[in-house]
Each structure stands twice: as C-alpha cells, then as structure tokens.
C-alpha cells in the first residue's frame, strides 16, 4: 500500500471496522503500522466498541497484506495472548 491509499483500502478491514479505527485516531495504514495491531485493538476496546478477536487478526493481517485466515496459528495465539494481557 502506498501513501496515496487510505485506511479504507486495508485488506480485511470493512466499513464498520474502519469507522472504529478512525474513532480512535487510526486513519491510514501508516497510523496502523505506527501503533500496531494490538494497540489499535486495545484502543477500539477502550472506546467501547464490541471488537472480537477476528478484528485483531484482521488488523495484523492488514499489516502483512494477507487475508486474516492466512495468519499462522502461532501468530493468532501470540495476538490472542497479547489481547488477554490488555488491562480491562
């Protein structure tokens, strides 16, 4: 993804998820790269949106430019553990 593309062009990220990202200040791929998938997921949760682990996987996969189902089980396990470590 180049500088011309907006966050809405992120693979795996639909309109509702993009609204949530924008609400927490993630407006572009560069923003997502800067804070990372886990932090973006944390911000979405803190904002009160009903985020599932699939969103976390989709965010990470968007950074890798792959479909979220292509993430390895090890990557998903690491993401899940990181999400569980987020203070509520």
Domain boundaries, given as residue ranges, for the chain: 7-84
What local confidence, expressed as pLDDT, does residue 86 receive? 77
Q: If you classify domain 7-84 with CATH, what class do you get?
A: mainly alpha
Categorize the per-residue pLDDT at 6 as very low, low, confident or very high, splitting at 50, 70 and 90.
Answer: very low
DSSP letters of 40-87?
HHHHHHHTT----HHHHHHHHHHHHTS-GGGS-HHHHHHHHHHHHTS-
Read off the pLDDT of residues 17-57 as tens digits, 9 standing for 90 and up. Answer: 999 999 999 999 999 999 999 999 999 999 999 999 999 99
């Amino acid at each position: 993804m180049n500088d011309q593309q907006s966050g809405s062009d992120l693979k795996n990220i639909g309109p509702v998820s993009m609204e949530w990202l924008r609400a927490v200040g993630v407006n572009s791929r560069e923003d997502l790269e800067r804070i990372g998938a886990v932090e973006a997921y944390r911000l979405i949760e803190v904002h009160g949106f009903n985020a599932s682990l699939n969103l976390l996987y989709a965010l990470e996969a968007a950074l890798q430019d792959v479909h979220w189902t292509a993430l390895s089980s090890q990557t998903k396990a690491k993401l899940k553990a990181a999400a569980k470590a987020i203070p509520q």
